[in-house]
Amino acid sequence: MPKQKPPKGRRQKAEAKPKRLPNNKTWFKAFMPKNKYLEDIRFGEVDIPFLILVMVLLVFGLIMMYSASYAWAIHKGQTPDYYFQRQLLWSALGLGVMIVIASPIFDYHILRHPLITFGLFGVTVVLMILVIAGVGSITDGGATRWIEIGGISFQPSELMKLAVIMLFASLISANYRKMQTIKGGIVPYISILVFVSALMIAQPHLSGTIIICAIGVSMMFIGGVKKRHFIPLLIIGVAGLTAIAYAMYKVGNFDYISNRIVSWLYTFEPEYKDIAWQTRNSLIAIGSGGVFGLGLGNSRQKFLYLPESQNDFVFSIICEELGFIGALVVIILFLMLIFRGFSIAENAPDKYGMLLASGLIIQIGIQAFLNIAVVSNTIPNTGISLPFFSYGGTALILQLAEMGIILNISRQSIPKKEKPDSDNAEERAVQNAKNALGAEARINMDRTRRR
């Protein structure tokens, strides 16, 4: 007996596609209302452990930055709390931005819109070109990395980190099915990184180049690049950066870079005393702290011996005043923040949220690792700040804004172990059975349930 076709209306209803938009669709859908973009989107509470870790690092950073900065503030004719007051103001502004972004009134999916993603990337590229061209730029220590707009100076490279993370998260989530191919998963992203690296090296800003490339390559790996493509890419990337650093060391126009490498290789050689002064005193500060430190506020190296003690080398003062125990606490706090950030990324409701959270927390982790490596002379001095600790207004505001994005993602996270009630479990089991059967069987099951 031939099978009877169900009525046209019921067949269309039974075969209707789910409302949820697949992650491989274009990012132009990002401005659609949430109920059309993600049918299971929901707003809960922010991740409290992550929020606590951010606040602890921020408060700890303010205390240590004040302790490391007041001697230099007095030396420059300012009040002892000059740097602290400014950092406190930037912290308050940054917290305000973080609270707004983390609140339910903001949805991180809006960052996926091309006007925001490509707009931020384009504006940052223009700012970096202005820095290279010398328009409104500021040169310090042989490098031109800063630009002044409206009396506020900042490094466009800090903004470029966020722009690259947002761009990669959008592109990878929209084209994740192509990530296992060289054409779709390697070429476009490497092209972006090469272009950005060229702008960074022209400043020169080798440390920023390393950070951005590390973030980009990490996001490509998380996005699904095949290992057989990724490992050669990683080897070529490391070799390329090494070759660039060596070339900059040999070329006379990059004395800034060559001096940093010399101070790393010959730190305690008498003939390089002036060049390696900062690195020397950083190691002296770390060694003076011992296990328990000299006590909070009792550092000796911050009294004009260690340049930039309130900025890139604040970790040296932490080691001197709080000892090995204090340094270990800082490292553990960063490790806990990174672990919790990846946990939020793992439970994100979509690929875009997962990639965005991963990229942001990778940035914090790489910067913290490289800063600690610099102050301990594990790698050459590269001018990398310690997140939440180093003095710097725009960088701190950007970091807190990025933490706000991660907290917003955590509001919409789907827990790994969700305990639904029996009715929901039954509905889910029925739905799974429906998907496995044909149209006629689905209609019969609907009739049986109605009875």
Number of H helices, E strands in the chain: 17, 3
Are residues 428 and 303 located together in one domain of the fold?
A: no
Structural domain contains residue 15:
no
pLDDT at 25: 38
Structural domain contains residue 16:
no
Are residues 392 and 439 located together in one domain of the fold?
A: no
| Residues 6 or more apart whose Cβ sits within 8 Å of residue 209 | 196, 197, 200, 201, 241, 244
Are residues 217 and 296 located together in one domain of the fold?
A: yes
Are residues 355 and 279 located together in one domain of the fold?
A: yes
pLDDT-derived band at 17 (thresholds 50, 70, 90) equals very low
Query: Distance between CA 109 and CA 106 in Å, rounded?
Result: 9
Are residues 284 and 433 located together in one domain of the fold?
A: no
Are residues 171 and 279 located together in one domain of the fold?
A: yes
Side-chain half-sphere CA neighbours of 143 within 13 A: 24
Query: Distance between CA 172 and CA 163 in Å, rounded?
Result: 14
Structural domain contains residue 5:
no
pLDDT at 175: 87
pLDDT tens, residue by residue, 284-299: 999 999 999 999 989 9
Are residues 169 and 266 located together in one domain of the fold?
A: yes
Contact 344, 410 (CB under 8 A): yes
Structural domain contains residue 274:
yes
Which residue range(s) make up the domain with 96? 27-418
Are residues 207 and 335 located together in one domain of the fold?
A: yes
Structural domain contains residue 209:
yes
Structural domain contains residue 21:
no
Q: How does 224-247 read in b/e, with b if 16+ C-beta sit within 10 Å?
A: ebeeebbeebeeebeeebeebbee
Are residues 310 and 446 located together in one domain of the fold?
A: no
pLDDT tens, residue by residue, 43-81: 568 899 999 999 999 999 999 999 999 889 998 888 989
pLDDT at 412: 86
Query: Distance between CA 294 and CA 314 in Å, rounded?
Result: 15
pLDDT at 419: 39
Are residues 428 and 300 located together in one domain of the fold?
A: no
Structural domain contains residue 310:
yes
pLDDT at 360: 96
Contact 131, 205 (CB under 8 A): no
| Distance between start and end Cα atoms, the chain | 26
pLDDT tens, residue by residue, 315-343: 999 999 999 999 999 999 999 999 999 99
Q: Give whole-number Cα distances, 413 to 109, 263, 355, 357, in Å.
A: 13, 47, 13, 11
Are residues 149 and 176 located together in one domain of the fold?
A: yes
- pTM of the predicted structure, to 2 decimals: 0.80
pLDDT at 18: 37
Query: Distance between CA 147 and CA 130 in Å, rounded?
Result: 8
Domains in the chain: how many in total? 2
Structural domain contains residue 138:
yes
Are residues 181 and 277 located together in one domain of the fold?
A: yes
If you average pLDDT over residues 10-20, what whole number do you get?
43
Query: Distance between CA 74 and CA 70 in Å, rounded?
Result: 6
pLDDT at 28: 34
Tokens found for residue 328: 């270990």
pLDDT at 26: 36
